[in-house]
């Protein structure tokens, strides 16, 4: 093979094509109605587990499924064909547990286009009658070259195995790997074969995270047009994205804006390489759009922090200090910030004394959000305060109030002593250390 024979993958971000011209304009985000209609599929017990060193126990995974159900997730991918072995046994035990304990959850499994994988998908259906199958193959030019496949081979395999899965009574989500590196002409032909052979849903996979928001929007919009041209506009569209270049959330939002119905996501964004689209990021943004429009929120957001915290402990992934819902998401020690928070709570206390409880609640909320985009009370969390070299008296008083004490009973000299110690040590004081100081009051 010569250098000239090596194929070039299509770039949906920048490469023009007669079938799919580069968009001249795009929306900046989904409409509230699109946000309200979007679903989240949990990839936490499938794609997410490719990013950790060992699978958790089936009991732990079933506990997590319960949390997913409580949060409001109804669809979850839980396995991929891997041949006989421990993983296969665990996935089947997991499917049985979901059937018995969590009937609201619709599980899906990944099935490659081979007789052995089809047989396995049928076995999974026997365990859980509602199971769906994601039937897929790689499709990009580079993937076809290294596998020795041509488009005719891919189309024949996809058509045949989708049809066989459907004949077995298994609903099919049709997919390809590297969809975001596959040309419009090839995507069109693949989609035609997928839906003509019975797929009720089509998934676009940004397998290695190369898409940017413009590319995600353009490809979903193109797929929607293909489905319309085929006379199948009712076919649902999934977006499966990764975080390799930091665009997973923006891509998910633009996919919804272009017509995607469902986003694949994992708690804490865990997954192979840089990880998957983050469940908490997607849910927080869609919920905000719904709330701002006065629409019902699709998920029980008060369960969110507990959900992702359980997952990170289950898969032994350390929570970063920073980032969305990181350890410090609701933490501050800055005197400027704590002064505003303390004053909002003082106003709330005055409202309480005046028995204006509606005003009190609004002021309490203001106290939690005056320096935070996320109200911890709405996601099952709490705000937290420390004292540091950049703190003032308000920081000490607010930390005292958080500990359950009356900050007005703190002697001024003790406040000065705490601040002097923090500024002299050049570090943050929190937790037990502050408790020891407050106990002196």
Please name each of the domains of the chain with its CATH number. Answer: 3-314 (3.20.20.70), 331-438 (no CATH)
Residues 263, 220 contacting (CB under 8 angstroms):
no
Residues 42, 75 contacting (CB under 8 angstroms):
yes
The closest of 117, 54, 128 to 92, measured between CA atoms, is: 128
Angle at the Cα of 38 (from 365 to 308), degrees rounded to 5? 55
Which pLDDT does position 83 carry in this prediction? 86
C-alpha 229/C-alpha 246 separation (Å) is: 33
Buried b (16+ CB within 10 A) or exposed e, 275-305: bbbbbbbbbbbbbebbeeeeeebbbebebbb
C-alpha 175/C-alpha 220 separation (Å) is: 13
Residues 118, 157 contacting (CB under 8 angstroms):
no
Buried b (16+ CB within 10 A) or exposed e, 170-193: bbbbbbbbbbbbbbbebbbbbbbb
Which pLDDT does position 431 carry in this prediction? 86
Say which DSSP state 267 is in.
Answer: G
Residues 99, 131 contacting (CB under 8 angstroms):
no
C-alpha 236/C-alpha 52 separation (Å) is: 30
C-alpha 280/C-alpha 268 separation (Å) is: 7
pTM for the structure as a whole:
0.94
Tokens of 147: 């596998």
What are the average pLDDT values for consecutive 10-residue runs of the chain, which has 441 residues?
Answer: 76 96 95 98 96 94 98 96 89 97 97 96 98 96 93 97 98 97 98 98 97 98 98 98 97 98 98 96 98 97 98 94 92 90 93 96 93 94 90 92 89 92 89 88 74
Q: What does each C-alpha distance from 78 to 47, 238, 257 come to in angstroms?
A: 9, 17, 27
Which pLDDT does position 407 carry in this prediction? 87
Residues 299, 41 contacting (CB under 8 angstroms):
no
The closest of 139, 206, 193 to 166, measured between CA atoms, is: 193
- Please state the separation of Cα 41 from the chain's center in Å: 9
Which pLDDT does position 335 carry in this prediction? 87
C-alpha 221/C-alpha 44 separation (Å) is: 27
Cβ neighbour number for residue 28 with a 10 Å cutoff = 8
């Amino acid at each position: 093979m010569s250098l000239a024979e090596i194929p070039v993958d299509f770039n949906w971000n920048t490469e023009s094509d007669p079938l799919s011209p580069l968009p001249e304009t795009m929306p900046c985000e989904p409409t509230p109605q699109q946000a309200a209609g979007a679903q989240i599929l949990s990839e936490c017990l499938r794609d997410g587990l490719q990013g950790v060193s060992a699978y958790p126990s089936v009991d732990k995974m079933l506990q997590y499924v319960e949390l997913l159900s409580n949060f409001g997730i109804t669809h979850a991918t839980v396995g991929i064909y891997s041949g006989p072995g421990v993983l296969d046994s665990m996935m089947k035990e997991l499917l049985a547990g979901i059937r018995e304990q969590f009937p609201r959850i619709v599980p899906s499994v990944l099935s490659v286009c081979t007789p052995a994988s089809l047989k396995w998908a049928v076995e999974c259906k026997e365990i859980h009658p509602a199971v769906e199958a994601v039937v897929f193959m790689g499709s990009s030019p580079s993937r076809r070259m290294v596998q020795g496949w041509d488009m005719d081979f891919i189309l024949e395999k996809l058509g045949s195995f989708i049809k066989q899965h459907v004949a077995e009574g298994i609903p099919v989500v049709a997919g390809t790997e590297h969809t975001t590196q596959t040309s419009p002409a090839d995507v069109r032909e693949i989609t035609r074969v997928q839906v003509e052979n019975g797929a009720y849903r089509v998934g676009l996979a940004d397998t290695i995270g190369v898409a940017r928001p413009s590319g995600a929007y353009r490809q979903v919009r193109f797929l929607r047009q293909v489905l319309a041209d085929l006379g199948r506009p009712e076919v649902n569209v999934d977006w499966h994205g990764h975080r390799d270049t930091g665009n997973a959330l923006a891509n998910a939002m633009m996919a919804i804006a272009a017509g995607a119905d469902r986003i694949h996501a994992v708690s804490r964004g865990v997954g192979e390489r840089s990880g998957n689209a983050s469940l908490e990021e997607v849910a927080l943004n869609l919920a905000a759009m719904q709330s701002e429009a006065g629409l019902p929120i699709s998920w029980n957001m008060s369960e969110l922090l507990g959900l992702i915290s359980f997952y990170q402990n289950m898969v032994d992934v350390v929570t970063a200090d920073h980032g969305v819902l990181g350890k410090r998401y609701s933490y501050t020690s800055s005197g400027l910030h704590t002064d505003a928070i303390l004053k909002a709570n003082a106003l709330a206390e005055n409202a309480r004394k005046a028995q204006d409880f509606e005003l009190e609640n609004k002021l309490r909320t203001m106290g939690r959000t005056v320096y935070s985009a996320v109200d911890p009370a709405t996601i099952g969390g709490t705000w937290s305060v420390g004292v540091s070299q950049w703190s003032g008296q308000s920081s000490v008083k607010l930390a005292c109030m958080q500990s359950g004490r009356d900050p007005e009973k703190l002697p001024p000299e003790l406040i000065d002593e705490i601040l002097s110690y923090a500024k002299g040590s050049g570090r943050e004081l929190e937790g037990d250390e502050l408790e020891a100081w407050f106990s002196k009051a």
